Amino acid sequence: MKKLILILLLSASFTSLFAQKHKTENVIIVTIDGLRWQEIFRGADSALINSKETNDKAEVRKNFWTDAVNERRKMLVPFFWSTIVQHGQLYGNRDIGSKDEVANPYHFSYPGYNEIFTGFPDPRMNTNEAITNPNMNLLEFLNKQKGFENKVAAFSSWERFPQILNTQRSGIVNNSGYMKLNTPGMNDRLQFLNEIQNEGPHFLGDSTRIDYLTFEFAKTYMKQYKPRALYVAFDEPDDMAHGGNYKVYLDRIHQEDDYIKQLWDFVQTDAAYKNKTTLIITCDHGRGDVPLLKWRDHGKETTNSEQTWFAVIGPDTPASGEMKLPTTTYHKQLAQTIANLLGFDFKAAAGHEVGDAIGSVTGK
């Protein structure tokens, strides 16, 4: 009993100490569906550029190709290889021995997002169908914390997030697919986006929204309502990969790098966010790589599609650049990592298994 009391006291002291020292007061989480680690760390793939997967090869080479990998990846995702590499951390470059993976065995979207936000690979979450997630998720947990009430919002292109994040139970603001945003006091820009979103091209189908609109909703909402926790989920790279369109896959990655830069630039100029906001960027799954055309696919039968990446930048994260750890990081660790950055312990409150925080992110 005395030993148990001592452990509890030490745990409480650690939690209190961390809460006092952390600088992060807000968090922005961005996911890019199906974006491979290969493009993040190597830039455009010459084998795919020179294959039937790429039309207008000359334009792609002009925009995204050079022989030097460090320059090539910067051409594709300049925000990653300027701002984040200088002031944050990047995980998952297997060329230097950095391994990041999903822990779930399914390697597709719903299980991947469940793992990120609940902190564990629930075997029941094994479909992309509209089943309601019974698990407590990080955004729901944050919405219950003092100072975060009604300050948590999620914007996604894919229509499945109301079920993944169980927004009916969690009560967070959620705007997914082509649903209208319904928040009291919306400014003219948000009302305009509601009006025009169905007038634009639905090239991802009638349920999955184009990423430009998701970005505009999220950015405008952020400027007006100043959420403490904001989630933005992009979708287009995955759709372009499934369609075997490498040119547009690269174009969409490049564009979304700029969307993320715009969000971070706003953070750096706004008093509510500057020097007290952490940005986390990741994906829901990897893709195949051998044979070449397997880049289109992912799933438990697709070799290497568990291989992923993530990036983080913020006031509590050491500016270590590309990371090389002796152990593999897993996406089930991200929920507790983000909670710790904000001074909270999601693992203690979740009511289910949650992966341990990644100490190198929090500087521990």
- Answer whether 0.85 is exceeded by the pTM: yes
**Does residue 17 have a pLDDT over 80?**
no
Can you tell me the mean pLDDT for 288-307? 97
Model pLDDT for residues 228-237, shown as the tens digit of each residue: 999 999 999 9
**Looking at residue 18, what is its pLDDT?**
46
**Looking at residue 200, what is its pLDDT?**
81
Q: How far apart are CA 241 and CA 249, in angstroms?
A: 6
Whose tokens are 């109301």? That residue is 162
Please name every residue paired with 152 in a beta bridge, in sequence order, or none if there are none: 229
pLDDT category of residue 203 using cuts at 50, 70 and 90: confident
Position 101, amino acid? E
CB under 8 Å to 103, separation ≥6 — which residues?
Answer: 115, 120, 121, 330, 331, 332, 355
C-beta atoms surrounding 168 within 10 Å: 10
DSSP character at residue 128: S
Can you tell me the mean pLDDT for 349-357? 98
pLDDT category of residue 205 using cuts at 50, 70 and 90: confident
C-beta atoms surrounding 17 within 10 Å: 10
**Looking at residue 20, what is its pLDDT?**
53
Can you tell me the mean pLDDT for 161-182? 97
**Looking at residue 206, what is its pLDDT?**
84
pLDDT category of residue 8 using cuts at 50, 70 and 90: very low
Model pLDDT for residues 27-39, shown as the tens digit of each residue: 999 999 999 999 9
Q: CA neighbours within 13 Å on the CB side: how many for 319?
A: 9
Burial of 292 (0-12, 13-18, 19+ CB in 10 A): middle
Rounded percentage of the chain residues whose pLDDT exceeds 90: 91
pLDDT category of residue 12 using cuts at 50, 70 and 90: very low
Burial of 146 (0-12, 13-18, 19+ CB in 10 A): exposed
Can you tell me the mean pLDDT for 118-124? 98
Can you tell me the mean pLDDT for 6-22? 50
pLDDT category of residue 302 using cuts at 50, 70 and 90: very high
Can you tell me the mean pLDDT for 231-253? 98
C-beta separation of 338 from 27 below 8 A: yes
Model pLDDT for residues 258-273, shown as the tens digit of each residue: 999 999 999 999 999 9
Q: What is the DSSP string of 148-184?
A: TTT-EEEEESSTTHHHHTTHHHH--EEEETTPPP--T
Model pLDDT for residues 66-113, shown as the tens digit of each residue: 999 999 999 999 999 999 999 999 999 999 999 999 999 999 999 999
Whose tokens are 């890019």? That residue is 32
Position 65, amino acid? W
H and E: helices and strands count for the chain: 17, 10
**Looking at residue 148, what is its pLDDT?**
98
**Looking at residue 284, what is its pLDDT?**
98
C-beta separation of 287 from 241 below 8 A: yes
pLDDT category of residue 160 using cuts at 50, 70 and 90: very high
**Does residue 141 have a pLDDT over 80?**
yes
Rounded percentage of the chain residues whose pLDDT exceeds 70: 95
**Looking at residue 21, what is its pLDDT?**
80
Cα 165-37-24 angle, rounded to 5 deg: 50
